């Protein structure tokens, strides 16, 4: 859902949120980082010249970048990331791909439909030969609840890039095991913790939790004290694990 | 023995990882067995002294030859990433020590630097030097523990006593510095909480002088030991291409000939200021991994020596607010832990608690290579290979 990525919604009201409800969106939120504090408080900061060349968040013209004291949540904003590689893929895939950089780290927000292709191109054409990590983030309030994140590294280029895509709860995503064999266990862990299905994974089953366990603990709606009582009672023969 | 070595090389050439799908263990497939005997599926662990904790390996055997393995992990799963989402950034700091509890200082360094990056602050120079000294001492301690237990698995008992005797000296320094020996919680977000104690530099220098001949002592016990050579050479070979494809990092990757170390590739803390070499192996076997780690201990001593002679004066805490509230955003930061690339991927929603904290554990990813490394070997070699990967189950399971 590239459109969703590109047009940030109006800022939500300031709210102290408990960690297990979380913000309503991932990349959208990053583009309006001053949303939780009035801009006046932030503008007291010495504004560093990192003003975005093409403001990523047009709703926030007064967004200052790089506060020296991080006490205020006003922070650097993700800037558009340009490089020959990005230009090439943008012309190839158009709006399905967004390239951003935040605190010096580059990432591509890509549409779910591009996922096997763009990862394969990154490995084959751009030499991102090492898949550092595959993980996910859950945003329960968003329509497409999950961000799936690949962290890639290229030995020849000594460069990192992250690839992010959004998928809905219950939707599946093509496995990247055929691209990087290391994704095998990493995807199993994502499945175990979030319940995300990876199509074409050779052996998609739980890895850290026992096979019969119900629930996926890193979802935000799974409480920290929650457990599969039935599993505990049957398999451990105790009333509760706590 | 030589017959086995030949088999191993043949197997190794057949085992080159294709980029196509690869099923790690299909217990249904029947490979051709020796004398058409029955395949045997046995359980190793989780209560097995040679699996270094609660690792369970299901071995599919033809006689004593390994046809395939499957690791069953998670016995030590504590939900560290879930805990992180329910603690503040400061409160979570001690938890990271409990992942790789043999290298708690390194874990803390990675976490503190990741949060500092997210906050866009930097630790002062003095704090960075203290961090480098303690982290490199920790690397030596971690490698000592690895060497002692790995040699014990293979049957050499003496190195265990030597390494634990000498590791004690490092733990004493930790204890004097921050009061704890293992789960040290040595660093804070923004710098260090504790100034070095009086005599810290002297203690560190004394340790360096004390330890330099000890490495030679370890090497005298093992490097040219006939039994050690037979048990480690050409055992658990992994090629550089396979290691990269499987995401293997740390000494295991370097022993396969890839000269890659995050301290050089993407320097953090104060590593760009020190001279040191990245030792690499050529064969990618258990013996090369041993040599790489031995040399890494020497290089760590070099770093510590340079750092302790040049600790700058100044504050040890950066300008970090009392309440740590990073701006909305996400960061990935990784360090070269003793076992490989230890990464933290943190997503902040602007609150005092991480919205999502992902730990990229080196042991977990490296353990995945066990299967390809032990195929075609004997059961006794599985023990050697588990030892040589250097896993800590606290970090594998988190």
Q: Which residues in chain B have their CB less than 8 angstroms from residue A38's CB?
A: none
Mean pLDDT of the B360-369 span: 92
CB-nearest partner of B82 from A66, A70, A218 = A218
Tell if the CB–CB gap between B17 and A182 is shorter than 8 Å: no
Strands B329-337 and B340-348: antiparallel
Q: How far apart are the first and last CA of chain B?
A: 38
Q: Is B312 on the interface with A (CB under 8 A)?
A: no
Cα–Cα distance measured from residue A133 to residue A156, given in angstroms and rounded to the nearest whole number = 18
Count of other CB atoms within 10 angstroms of residue B3: 7
CA-CA distance, B87 to B212, in Å (whole number)? Answer: 42
Closest Cα of chain A to B61: distance in Å? 21
d(CA B129, CA B137): 12
Please tell me the predicted confidence (pLDDT) of residue A84: 80
∠ CA B341-B342-B348, nearest 5°, is: 130
Pairing relationship of beta strands A97-102 and A79-80 according to DSSP bridges = antiparallel
What are B173-227's pLDDT values in tens digits?
A: 999 998 888 888 889 898 888 888 888 999 999 999 999 999 999 998 888 888 8
Tens digits of residue pLDDT in A122-172: 888 888 989 999 999 999 988 888 999 999 999 988 889 999 999 988 888
Write down the pLDDT at residue A59: 43
Residue A224 and residue A20 in contact, taking contact as beta carbons nearer than 8 Å? yes
Q: What is the DSSP string of B3-21?
A: HHHHHHHHHHHHTPPPSS-
Count Cα atoms within 13 angstroms, Cβ side, for A68: 7
Domains of chain B, each with CATH number or no CATH: 12-72 (no CATH), 81-397 (1.10.645.10)
Q: Do A103 and B354 lie within an 8 Å CB cutoff?
A: no
Chains A, B: CB contacts within 8 A come to 169
Query: Across the strands, what pairs with B344?
Result: B333, B359
pLDDT of residue A236: 83
Whether B317 and chain A come into contact, CB under 8 Å, resolves to: no
Neighbours of B319 (CB within 10 A): 15
Note whether B262 and B334 are within 8 A (CB).
yes
Question: What sign has the CA pseudo-torsion A226, A215, A113, A202?
Answer: positive
- Residue B251 has a pLDDT of 93
| Amino acid A170: pLDDT | 84
Among the listed residues A102, A192, A180, A63, the one whose alpha carbon sits nearest the alpha carbon of residue B346: A102
What DSSP string describes B204-226? HHHHHHHHHHHHHHHHHHHTT-H
Residue by residue, DSSP assigns A94-145 as GGGEEEEEETTEEEEEE-GGGHHHHHHHHHHTT---EEEEEEEEE-TTSSS-
pTM to 2 decimals?
Answer: 0.79
Q: Are B317 and B121 in contact (CB under 8 A)?
A: no
Taking the C-alpha atoms of residue B69 and residue B86, their distance in angstroms, rounded to an integer, is 36
8 Å CB contact between A80 and A64: no
Q: Which residues of B touch A203 (CB under 8 A)?
A: 23-24
Which one of B76, B350, B398 makes the best mutation probe of the A interface by having the most chain A beta carbons within 10 Å? B350
Phi, psi of B212 (to 5 degrees): -50, -50
Considering only CA atoms, which of A103, A11, A6 is closest in space to residue A48?
A103
Token pair recorded at residue B178:
């921050």
Task: Please indicate whether residue A2 or residue A176 has the higher confidence score (pLDDT).
Answer: A176
Cα–Cα distance measured from residue A30 to residue A132, given in angstroms and rounded to the nearest whole number: 23
- Cα R_g (chain B), whole angstroms: 21
Does A199 or A93 have the greater pLDDT score?
A199
Tokens (6 digits) for B152: 């014990």
Please state the rounded mean pLDDT for residues B134-142: 93
Contact by Cβ (8 Å): B295, B259: no
> Is pLDDT larger for residue B295 or for residue A80?
B295
Handedness of CA B27, A173, B397, B359 (dihedral sign): positive
């Amino acid at each position: 859902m590239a459109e969703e990525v590109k047009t940030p919604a109006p800022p939500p009201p300031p709210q102290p949120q408990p960690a297990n409800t979380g913000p309503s969106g991932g990349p959208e939120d990053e583009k309006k980082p001053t949303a939780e504090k009035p801009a006046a408080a932030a503008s007291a900061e010495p504004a560093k010249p990192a003003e975005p060349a093409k403001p990523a968040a047009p709703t926030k013209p007064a967004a200052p970048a790089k506060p020296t004291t991080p006490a205020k949540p006003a922070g650097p904003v993700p800037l558009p990331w340009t490089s020959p590689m990005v230009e090439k893929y943008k012309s190839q895939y158009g709006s399905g791909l967004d390239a951003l950089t935040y605190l010096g780290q580059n990432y591509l927000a890509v549409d779910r439909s591009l996922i096997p292709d763009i990862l394969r191109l990154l490995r084959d054409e751009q030499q991102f030969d090492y898949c550092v990590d595959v993980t996910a983030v859950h945003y329960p309030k968003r329509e497409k609840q999950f961000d799936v994140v690949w962290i890639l590294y290229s030995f020849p280029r000594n460069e990192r890039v992250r690839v992010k895509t959004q998928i809905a709860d219950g939707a599946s995503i093509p496995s990247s095991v055929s691209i990087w064999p290391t994704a095998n266990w990493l995807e199993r862990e994502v499945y175990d913790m979030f319940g995300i299905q990876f199509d074409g994974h050779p052996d998609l089953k739980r890895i850290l939790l026992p096979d019969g366990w119900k629930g996926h603990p890193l979802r935000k709606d799974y409480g920290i004290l929650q457990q599969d009582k039935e599993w505990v009672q049957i398999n451990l023969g105790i009333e509760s694990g706590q | 023995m030589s017959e086995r070595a030949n088999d191993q090389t043949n197997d190794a050439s057949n085992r080159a990882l294709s980029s196509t799908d690869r099923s790690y263990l299909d217990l249904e497939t029947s490979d051709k067995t020796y004398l058409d005997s029955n395949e045997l599926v046995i359980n190793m662990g989780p209560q097995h002294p040679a699996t270094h904790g609660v690792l369970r390996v299901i071995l599919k055997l033809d006689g004593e030859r390994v046809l395939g393995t499957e690791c069953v992990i998670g016995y030590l799963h504590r939900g560290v990433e879930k805990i992180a989402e329910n603690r503040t950034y400061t409160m979570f700091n001690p938890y990271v020590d409990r992942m790789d509890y043999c290298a708690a200082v390194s874990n803390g360094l990675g976490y503190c630097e990741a949060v500092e990056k997210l906050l866009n602050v930097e630790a002062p120079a003095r704090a960075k030097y203290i961090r480098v000294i303690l982290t490199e001492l920790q690397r030596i301690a971690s490698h000592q523990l690895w060497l002692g237990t790995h040699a014990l698995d293979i049957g050499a008992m003496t190195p265990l006593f030597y390494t634990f005797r000498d590791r004690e000296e490092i733990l004493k320094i930790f204890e004097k510095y921050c009061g704890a020996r293992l789960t040290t919680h040595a660093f804070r977000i923004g710098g260090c909480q504790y100034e070095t104690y009086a005599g810290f530099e002297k203690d560190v220098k004394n340790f360096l002088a004390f330890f330099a001949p000890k490495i030679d002592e370890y090497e005298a016990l093992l490097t040219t030991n006939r039994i050690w050579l037979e048990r480690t050479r050409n055992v658990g070979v992994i090629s550089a291409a396979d290691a990269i494809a499987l995401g293997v990092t740390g000494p295991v990757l370097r022993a396969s000939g890839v000269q890659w170390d995050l301290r050089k590739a993407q320097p953090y803390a104060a590593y760009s200021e020190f001279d040191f070499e990245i030792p690499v192996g050529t064969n990618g076997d258990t013996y090369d991994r041993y040599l790489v780690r031995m040399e890494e201990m020497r290089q760590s001593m070099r770093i510590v020596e340079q750092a302790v002679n040049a600790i700058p004066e100044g504050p040890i805490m950066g300008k970090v607010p009392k309440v740590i509230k990073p701006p909305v955003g996400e960061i990935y930061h990784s360090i070269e832990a003793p076992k490989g690339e230890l990464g933290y991927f943190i997503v902040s929603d602007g609150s005092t608690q991480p919205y999502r904290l992902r730990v990229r554990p080196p042991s977990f990813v490296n353990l995945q290579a066990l299967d390809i490394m032990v195929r075609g070997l004997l059961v006794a070699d599985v023990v050697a290979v588990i030892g040589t990967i250097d896993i800590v189950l606290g970090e594998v399971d988190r």
